[in-house]
Amino acid sequence: MVRKNKDNTITFPCIICDVDIVSSLPLDEKSNNTNDVLDKLMWNDGGVDKFSLNYGSIHDSNVYAIGICDKCLKKLKKDKKILFLYNYMGYYNDDEKNILDEEFTGLENADTKR
Ligand SMILES: [Zn+2]
């Protein structure tokens, strides 16, 4: 459950394991608008972000917020259920570089997979 804590931090559950992901800084404002709040927070050991689906989904154009902890994201990457695309800050560590080199550039057609 998403909640605002007494110290003005926000807690959001991991979508996979349900662990609490807590914002690293308290809100410095009184806003209770979730959309505004999510744009301004940093998180510990995971993150919360927005996503939407494109035309073709019954959820087309809806914007959702999900939380995922670092451990679950790492496992999803290892299991190849999520794809690392790029780092928007322009850098990546060696682990991400390997993923970039091996997975992102290594997309295969299903019929050619061995
Ligand atoms: Zn998790």
**Phi, psi of 48, rounded to the nearest 5 degrees:** -130, 130
Domain count, the chain: 2
Higher local confidence (pLDDT), 91 or 83: 83
Cα-to-centroid distance, 54 and ligand 1 (Å): 26
Q: Please give the residue range of the domain that contains residue 72.
A: 3-82
The half-sphere exposure of 112 on its side-chain side, counting CA atoms within 13 A, is 4
Residues 106, 67 share a domain: no
Residues 95, 78 share a domain: no
Write down the mean pLDDT value for the chain.
Answer: 81
Residues 88, 75 share a domain: no
Residues 48, 26 share a domain: yes
Q: Is the CB of residue 8 less than 8 Å from the CB of residue 15?
A: no
Residues 64, 9 share a domain: yes
Cα-to-centroid distance, 102 and ligand 1 (Å): 25
At 23-69, the pLDDT tens digits run: 987 776 666 667 777 777 889 999 999 999 999 999 999 999 999 99
Cα-to-centroid distance, 6 and ligand 1 (Å): 23
Residue 13 corresponds to which tokens in the numbers above?
Answer: 């559950």
Residues 46, 26 share a domain: yes
How far does Cα 76 stand from its chain's mean position?
A: 11
pTM, entire model: 0.75
